[in-house]
């Protein structure tokens, strides 16, 4: 869980988020190298009192500062395209859930099961409860099995919303009259927190998302209880 003192990305809870973190670190390394090189050239130019009279007609230098950025872009583009294809690789999900954004709560439908649907509202903060995250707890958690390919269908009933779980690398826009689809797999148990990431009105900050990742056996027991 990210706190106010954490400047890094959240710990990954899915293979896709792991790849996103690797790509972020890879890109930041390249950017850091470019920044260091540019700062070195700027400092050298400022300190150096000599003037190169051939600088205005340096064809070789112009060729180099055209080729080098192109090569750098290849080192960024190649893993980026690979990651984009990996994010769309799931074709046969084990289960499908549907989430609908409202002002200002989420409702969920487990499309593969009969009569399994519920609303999820934010739980009011209790100051004496030290284990409770402010503005992130909900009365009903979205319970999902880990190590299973899951497809989520996202839409909205009124205005634009965005269903976002940072530790899963998922951000799906909820658009009225349109179904957006995303897929993921959770690789560890626990509670995963998220929030609406599209400004949707006065209570935009009060519609959190909580996913409870459990084993397949516990998920089946949970579904049985809801279906009764």
Whether the predicted pLDDT of 139 surpasses 90: no
Backbone angles phi, psi at 57, to 5 degrees: -125, 40
pLDDT higher for 18 or 130?
18
d(C-alpha 162, C-alpha 182), whole Å: 12
pTM to 2 decimal places: 0.79
Tokens of 41: 């050239």
Tokens of 188: 């560890």
**Per-residue pLDDT at 55:** 65
pLDDT higher for 52 or 63?
63
The 10s digit of each residue's pLDDT in 154-171 is 999 889 999 999 888 889
SS3 226: helix
CATH number of the 95-227 domain:
2.60.40.420
When the pLDDT of each residue in the chain is averaged and rounded to a whole number, the result is 86
- The ranges assigned to domains in the chain are 15-49+57-88, 95-227
């Amino acid at each position: 869980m990210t706190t106010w003192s954490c400047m890094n990305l959240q710990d990954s809870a899915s293979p896709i988020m792991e790849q996103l973190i690797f790509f972020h670190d890879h890109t930041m390394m390249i950017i850091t190298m470019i920044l260091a090189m540019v700062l070195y050239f700027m400092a050298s130019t400022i300190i150096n009192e000599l003037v190169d009279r051939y600088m205005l007609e340096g064809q070789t230098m112009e060729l180099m500062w055209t080729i080098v950025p192109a090569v750098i872009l290849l080192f960024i583009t190649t893993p980026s395209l690979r990651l984009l294809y990996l994010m769309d690789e799931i074709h046969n999900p084990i289960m499908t859930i549907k989430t609908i954004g409202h002002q200002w709560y989420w409702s969920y439908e487990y499309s593969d099961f009969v009569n399994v649907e519920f609303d999820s509202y934010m739980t009011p903060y209790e100051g004496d409860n030290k284990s409770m995250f402010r503005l992130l707890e909900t009365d009903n958690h979205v319970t999902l099995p880990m190590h299973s390919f899951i497809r989520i269908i996202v839409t909205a009933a009124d205005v634009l919303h965005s269903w976002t779980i940072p530790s899963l690398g998922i951000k799906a826009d909820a658009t009225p009259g349109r179904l957006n689809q995303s897929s993921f797999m959770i690789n560890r148990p626990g509670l995963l927190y998220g929030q609406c990431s599209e400004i949707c009105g006065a209570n935009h900050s009060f519609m959190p998302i909580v996913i409870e990742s459990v084993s397949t056996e516990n998920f089946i027991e949970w579904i049985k209880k809801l279906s009764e």
